[in-house]
Chains A and B, each alone.
Chain A
Amino acid sequence: MTGTIGRIAVNVFRESVRDKVLYNLVAFAVLMIGASVLIGQLSAGQEVKIIKDLGLASMSVFGLFMAVFIGIGLVAKEVERRSIYALLAKPITRTELLLGKYAGLVLTLVVNLAIMTAAFYAVLAWMNWQASEGLRKSWEAPALDPALLKAIWLVLVQLMIVTAVALLFSTFSSPMLSAALTFGLYVVGHFNADLRNFESVVSSRAVAWVARGLYYLLPNFAPLDVKAQVVHGTPVPLGYLALTTGYALLYIAALLTLAAWIFSRRDFK
């Protein structure tokens, strides 16, 4: 089973490369290099902070668009091109196909983020080299802070959830609707801390309980965002990373199981 999933995953990755998905890396590189040259003139000594914020936010945005727009097409494209019939006629299960597609997109995101991280650190290394000793001392965290990897890791974890959400929606709805629903859930996932404390703004206990239920049901993206803490040099404990990653992996498992269940019952006639 693992071998089949692996082969499908590699094919999804190759297809992404053929579709020139990794061209976004060029945009990222241009953005980082351009910003590092221009920001120094504008930010009154805050260029390293701004480059870190910009780099981490760009990784998240580029990754989000990839996860959503490729994720919604993983199944839909096969159906649209009628290649799903040929695939399902092969000795692979629908679950293997789905998991392979998911793993392939995650692999694409990992490669993409790895290259972005290398470019990001290269720009920071250049800024670090250019800065005076006094300026370096004034930074809240060193330019080449390894803690940035913690934020990047949680960006990847967040994108893995988004990919699973997009894949789930794509098993039963049209690509456009899947994209809208995935983006909607992404936004809701950043607001859902409000649902937890809903009882303080509504008098109905029933509504408060429904809100509390939704809080646990919907993906919680806010704890996966430690970009600001890392940039300001605030420590992010490894225990925190382990807990948030564990939550994400279990949530992804639930989403993929649901997606596999829906996909296994879908009629392609």
Chain B
Amino acid sequence: MDNIIINGMAFSMPLFIIAVGGIYSESSGITNLALEGLLGFGAFCGGLTVAVIEHLFPAGSALPMYIALFAATVGGAAYAVLHGVLCITFKANQVISGVVINILSLALTAFLANQINTAVFGKTSNKFLLAVSPRIDIPVVSKIPLAGAFFTSVYPFEFIIIVVAVMAWYVLYKTPAGLRIRACGDNPHAVDAAGGNVAAIRYGAVITSGALSGLGGICFAYSISSNFSPSIFMGFGYLSIAAFIFGNWKILPTLATCLLFGFARSGGYALVTKLELPGSYSDLVLTMPYVLTLVLLIFFSKTNHPPRALGEIYDKGKR
């Protein structure tokens, strides 16, 4: 039972922060299917940073990890500019742009990782090894039966994600900037009439989504595989899209969805181990979050209220 909670949290937290990124972008009216590519590119930047700076630190130091988290955030934000340019400045179809960004991200990171490994580090591999992340037991509360598992062997990044997510929630719902972002997704013409710069606000939102996705990406890299490799493109970005659509483009319901996904996944794995099924059954378990998403989408899509101007290209001249 404890394992289900520990692993479930480690999976749902990165998923959640990526979904929050998606909410920022979509609240401002820019459809963001690029989350998958953004998280991969962020993880790549983090992995690369670790590979470059690792030897400067004593073995076992946790500092490179924090630097990697930061680098991934910046890298994701930088890559998201591309999505912004395509969708906002070049007025490309936002769905197509998102998919293009994903395909390019996979190609680019695979190529660069290989090229840099060959040229700089002299080995043929498309991976950057990351050190194993330390895990923390919080004293006292971790001793509580059952609920204590939420505080046992926690990845440090989970705290960072919670802090960032609270900040993101506050900015989006309690500040004028957040109001403007949401207004851009609802009625960009009103924002324009009120003197706001729709393009600039949307760029800000898309870049934020890139930053948060990059952060989520490197967290996945640390928790799942302790390395960056092209196998980071496992569809978690799409899963987080499903999470916030099911969460009705609101942060708190999205958190609930992400927790559900995380526990469905870890619970399934625990079941396979418990029943001593052969390893191939883990393939079936892997489908659980996806099946759940599909079923939930079928039941709840009718009542969904996406931002009204979502996916529409803002055209000043159009009334």
A and B form one complex: no
